[in-house]
């Protein structure tokens, strides 16, 4: 008998041990756990203590050897190189085992870190799975980050080996990765012993003798290796995400809890069965890519699509529908920004009708708030459930969603629906008291969090406590604010920190401010996220110049734009800044970023009671109008 959401949710909160022990039956264990939940050192909770398993075995070998050998595990679809390649579970096992052999021959073993800096090619999941096979810890860095960001991650993770490629392809631009990798290693204080480079036909990278190894050569001569059992509590990967400073946070994922959660979500949240084709149109550099391009679909025995392209321009706004119909995709997961891009190019959705989408069952959106317009457009054009669900790098899977495999709740536009089993979501005020239904507060999760959620930050237990656990004792602080309605639907409205979401990519405005303030002519600066029709938000900089600087403002703006591109990367999409005489501040000197953002977005704002000099705000509005913002600035409301 299928159990109701209420029944599952209640058990997950009242008796998490029984709930997750049952879910753990979906995983093959080398040794079963001694304790389902070790809660002896809160807020450090550990799932399946004493258990041993191998995540790669669960994602690959058990399917390759268990009746799915001929089933496609990965379909690589690359409109930018005009390539389609199908990799069966049997092929995948062979390629992963041999690449694990390459890594082992370079000295990689249990607990060693391997950084993976690759575009969306099959070598990315193969390298991740090869690390998992060896019990090594991978850390994938998104290709759109600049060498400086890569260097920061190298210094923190201290990898023995880095795996990269000669290039990535952005629509029709070839981006050489190897010079960026070389520059990052040059900048980093920690030096990896070896690099493995996958040479793509578009660019041949120069290899550094004695350090760099050619992927194809090394794999050809490598001995395949078997899966190494690791502790359930051992780290599977580190994924860096933006924190409130330029220093990213290394989110740690364990092996056991993660595997259990990934498997459980595929049926219960996405209603997908083994053997079906599941497509997360994201990038392996993000958590969505880790969880739903690689681990969850493979652990569940599905076929996953590795797509190297964009929703538009590769070649047109019909590419998503082409991929869905050609590969018989049942479920698509992407960010709302992808749909805004498609809607902009094909407002009527005319291209949808030119493909057979009869096997397409559901669309899931996450990464940023789904605006009701985009949701409605997708619903009416696709005629399938369109599900907004809310999650974070830290959580690995949805905190709130509409669990199609359990029961489908009516969709309320603007809400990510209800807390998923395991996630005891509360809305609290600064005193850590629950607010009334409908009132906005901080979104927090009662501890312990379910399996899959981060156990800590890499080498930074103290920062883990300070960033997530100290402000609301007994709860995990999500960093998001929102409200819950009378039907337990959760509405995620905004971040409470300096994180902004640009095209579904999480970025820190604080990190951008660090770059701007390093410009020789800049005395003070602020960066805020302003509304953007396509990307949801884009960063906008305010610069106050040092006294006596007589240079052209436009030159300085150009330079700071270039600095952010070089130091953080093109993914930051930092393209605009404005020079102002001064910044609005409180009397205690805190910059009023929220007010500047509201002015830019032409939203009504309250004159902050603590503002030092109210006369600055019209100056800010004037400067913003020069960039096309604050057009019908509502001014200070009551
Ligand atoms: N390697 C190198 N550069 C990269 C890159 C990569 N892997 N990924 C992105 N970039 C560059 C882009 O080329 C672009 O550079 P530009 O400023 O020179 O144009 C910049 O980083 C910003 O990229 P992006 O955010 O992708 O913007 P876009 O304008 O190229 O495309 C969308 C906009 C909406 C089509 C695109 O963001 C998209 O497809 N989003 C899908 C959602 C998604 O993947 N979300 C992830 C979390 S689910
Ligand atoms: P990331 O860690 O990159 O996945 O980004 C996580 C952040 O993206 C969250 O803290 C939210 O601010 C935002 N986010 C993700 N999904 C949603 C959603 N469905 N609705 C609103 N915001 C979301």
- List, for residues 147-163, the tens digit of each pLDDT value: 999 999 999 999 999 99
Q: Rounded distance, CA 115 to CA 511, Å?
A: 22
pLDDT at 304 over 90: yes
Q: Rounded distance, CA 35 to CA 23, Å?
A: 14
Ligand 2 neighbourhood includes 388 CB (under 6 angstroms): yes
578-594 pLDDT per residue, tens:
999 999 998 888 899 98
Q: Rounded distance, CA 448 to CA 43, Å?
A: 8
CB 454 within 8 A of CB 251: yes
User: Which residues lie with the beta carbon below 6 Å from any ligand 1 atom?
Assistant: 119, 143-144, 168, 170, 175, 282-283, 286, 288, 310-312, 334-335, 337-338, 341, 367, 503-505, 534, 570-571, 573
Residue nearest to atom 23 of ligand 2 (CA): 368
Report the chain's terminal Cα–Cα distance, integer Å: 56
Q: Which atom of ligand 2 is nearest to the CA of 478?
A: 10
CB 166 within 8 A of CB 160: no
Q: Report the residue among 119, 123, 168, 170 best suited for mutation to probe ligand 1: largest number of ligand atoms under 8 A from its CB.
A: 170
Ligand 2 neighbourhood includes 413 CB (under 6 angstroms): no
Q: Report the residue among 310, 313, 323, 396 best suited for mutation to probe ligand 1: largest number of ligand atoms under 8 A from its CB.
A: 310
Q: What is the mean pLDDT of residues 417-427?
A: 98
Q: Rounded distance, CA 629 to CA 56, Å?
A: 50
pLDDT at position 590: 87
353-406 pLDDT per residue, tens:
999 999 999 999 999 989 889 999 999 999 999 999 999 999 999 999 999 999
Residue nearest to atom 5 of ligand 2 (CA): 392
Q: What is the mean pLDDT of residues 478-497?
A: 95
CA of 279 to the centre of ligand 1 (A): 18
Q: Which atom of ligand 2 is nearest to the CA of 389?
A: 19
Q: Report the residue among 292, 537, 571, 573 best suited for mutation to probe ligand 1: largest number of ligand atoms under 8 A from its CB.
A: 571
Q: Report the residue among 124, 141, 142, 144 best suited for mutation to probe ligand 1: largest number of ligand atoms under 8 A from its CB.
A: 144
Partners of residue 75 on adjacent β-strands: 86, 305
pLDDT at 276 over 90: yes
CATH superfamily of 5-309+389-482: ANL, N-terminal domain (3.40.50.12780)
**How confident is residue 638, by pLDDT bands cut at 50, 70 and 90?**
very low
Residue 539: phi and psi, rounded to 5, are -75, 150
Partners of residue 200 on adjacent β-strands: 203
Q: Which atom of ligand 1 is nearest to the CA of 175?
A: 2
pLDDT at 633 over 90: no
pLDDT at position 348: 96
Residue nearest to atom 10 of ligand 1 (CA): 144
Output the CATH code of domain 503-625.
3.30.300.30
Ligand 2 neighbourhood includes 366 CB (under 6 angstroms): yes
Q: What is the mean pLDDT of residues 88-94?
A: 98
Q: Rounded distance, CA 216 to CA 198, Å?
A: 7
Percent of the chain at pLDDT exceeding 90: 92
Residue 39 token pair: 């809660």
Q: Rounded distance, CA 22 to CA 401, Å?
A: 21
CA of 288 to the centre of ligand 1 (A): 15
What's the DSSP call for residue 246?
S
CA of 373 to the centre of ligand 2 (A): 18
What's the DSSP call for residue 353?
G
Task: Give the CA distances from residue 68 to residues 26, 280, 301, 448, in Å, rounded to whole numbers and listed in that order.
Answer: 16, 21, 8, 36
Ligand 2 neighbourhood includes 479 CB (under 6 angstroms): yes
Work out whether strand 605-606 and strand 475-484 pair parallel, antiparallel, or are unpaired. Answer: unpaired
209-260 pLDDT per residue, tens:
999 999 999 999 999 999 999 999 999 999 999 876 678 899 999 999 999 9
Q: Which ligand has its closest atom nearest to the C-alpha of 443?
A: 2
Convert 143-161 to b/e letters by CB count within 10 Å (16 or more is b): bbbbbbbbbbbbebbbbbb
Burial grade of 199 (CB within 10 A; 0-12, 13-18, 19 or more): middle
pLDDT at 56 over 90: yes
């902004």: which residue's tokens?
500
Q: Rounded distance, CA 510 to CA 130, Å?
A: 35
Percent of the chain at pLDDT exceeding 70: 98
The ranges assigned to domains in the chain are 5-309+389-482, 503-625
Ligand 2 neighbourhood includes 390 CB (under 6 angstroms): yes
Q: Which ligand has its closest atom nearest to the C-alpha of 165?
A: 1
Q: What is the mean pLDDT of residues 271-297?
A: 98
Ligand 2 neighbourhood includes 327 CB (under 6 angstroms): no
Angle, in degrees to the nearest 10, between helices 256-268 and 16-23: 80
Q: Quick check: do 5-309+389-482 and 503-625 share a fold?
A: no
Q: Which ligand has its closest atom nearest to the C-alpha of 242?
A: 2
Average pLDDT, the chain: 96
pLDDT at position 637: 45
Ligand 2 neighbourhood includes 399 CB (under 6 angstroms): no
Q: Which atom of ligand 2 is nearest to the CA of 482?
A: 21
pLDDT at 53 over 50: yes
Distance of CA 466 to the CA centre of its chain: 22
Q: Which ligand has its closest atom nearest to the C-alpha of 338?
A: 1
Compute, in degrees rounded to 10, the torsion defined by CA atoms 266, 268, 272, 275. 60
């Amino acid at each position: 008998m299928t159990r109701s959401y209420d029944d599952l949710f209640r058990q997950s909160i009242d008796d998490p041990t029984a709930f997750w022990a049952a879910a753990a039956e979906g995983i093959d264990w080398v040794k079963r756990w001694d304790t389902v939940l070790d809660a002896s050192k809160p807020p450090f909770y550990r799932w399946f203590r004493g258990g041993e398993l191998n995540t790669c075995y669960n994602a690959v070998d058990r399917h390759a050897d268990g009746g799915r050998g001929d089933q496609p595990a990965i379909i690589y679809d690359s409109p930018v190189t005009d390539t389609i390649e199908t990799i069966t579970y049997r092929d995948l096992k062979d390629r992963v085992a041999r690449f694990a052999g390459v890594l082992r021959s370079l000295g990689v073993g249990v607990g060693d870190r391997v950084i993976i800096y690759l575009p969306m090619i099959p070598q990315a999941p193969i390298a991740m799975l090869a690390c998992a096979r060896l019990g090594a810890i991978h850390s994938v860095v998104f290709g759109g980050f600049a060498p400086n960001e890569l260097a920061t991650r190298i210094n923190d993770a201290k990898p023995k080996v880095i795996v990269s490629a000669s290039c990535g392809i952005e629509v029709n631009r070839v981006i050489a990765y190897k010079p960026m990798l070389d520059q990052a290693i040059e900048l980093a204080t920690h030096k990896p012993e070896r690099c493995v480079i996958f040479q793509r036909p578009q660019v041949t990278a120069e290899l550094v003798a004695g350090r760099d190894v050619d992927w194809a050569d090394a794999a050809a001569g490598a001995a395949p290796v078997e899966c190494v059992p690791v502790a359930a509590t051992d780290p599977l990967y580190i994924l860096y995400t933006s924190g409130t400073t330029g220093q990213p946070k290394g989110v740690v994922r364990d092996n056991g809890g993660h595997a259990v959660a990934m498997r459980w979500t595929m049926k219960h949240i996405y209603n997908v069965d083994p053997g079906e084709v599941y497509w997360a149109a994201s990038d392996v550099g993000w958590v969505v890519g880790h969880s739903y391009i690689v681990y969850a679909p493979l652990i569940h025995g599905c076929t996953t699509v590795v797509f190297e392209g964009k929703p538009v321009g590769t070649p047109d706004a019909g590419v998503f529908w082409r991929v869905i119909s050609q590969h018989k995709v049942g479920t698509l997961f992407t960010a709302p920004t992808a749909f805004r891009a498609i809607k902009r190019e094909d407002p009527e959705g005319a291209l949808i009708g030119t493909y057979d989408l009869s096997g397409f069952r559901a669309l899931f959106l996450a990464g940023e708030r789904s605006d009701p317009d985009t949701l409605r457009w997708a619903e009416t054009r696709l005629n399938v459930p369109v599900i907004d669900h809310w999650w974070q790098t830290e959580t690995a899977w949805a905190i709130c969603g509409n669990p199609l495999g359990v029961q489908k709740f009516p969709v309320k536009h603007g809400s990510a629906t209800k807390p998923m089993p395991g996630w005891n979501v509360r809305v609290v005020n600064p005193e850590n008291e629950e607010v009334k239904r409908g009132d906005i507060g901080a979104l927090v999760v009662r501890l312990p969090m379910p399996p899959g959620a981060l156990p800590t930050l890499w080498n930074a237990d103290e920062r883990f406590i300070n960033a997530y656990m100290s402000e609301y004792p007994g709860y995990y602080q999500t960093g998001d604010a929102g409200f819950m309605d009378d039907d337990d639907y959760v509405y995620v409205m905004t971040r409470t920190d300096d994180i902004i979401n640009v095209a579904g990519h999480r970025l820190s405005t604080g990190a951008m401010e660090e770059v701007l303030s390093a410009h020789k002519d800049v005395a003070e600066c602020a960066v805020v996220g302003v509304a953007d029709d396509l990307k949801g938000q884009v960063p906008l900089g305010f610069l106050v110049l040092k006294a006596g600087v007589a240079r052209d403002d436009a030159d300085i703006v150009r330079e700071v734009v270039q600095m952010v591109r070089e130091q953080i990367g093109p993914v930051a999409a930092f393209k605009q800044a404005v020079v102002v005489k001064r910044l609005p501040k409180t009397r205690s000197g805190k910059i009023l970023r929220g007010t500047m953002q509201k002015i830019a977005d032409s939203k009504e704002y309250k004159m902050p009671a603590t503002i030092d000099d109210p006369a600055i705000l019209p100056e800010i509005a004037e400067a913003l109008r020069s960039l096309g913002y604050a057009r019908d600035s509502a001014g200070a409301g009551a």
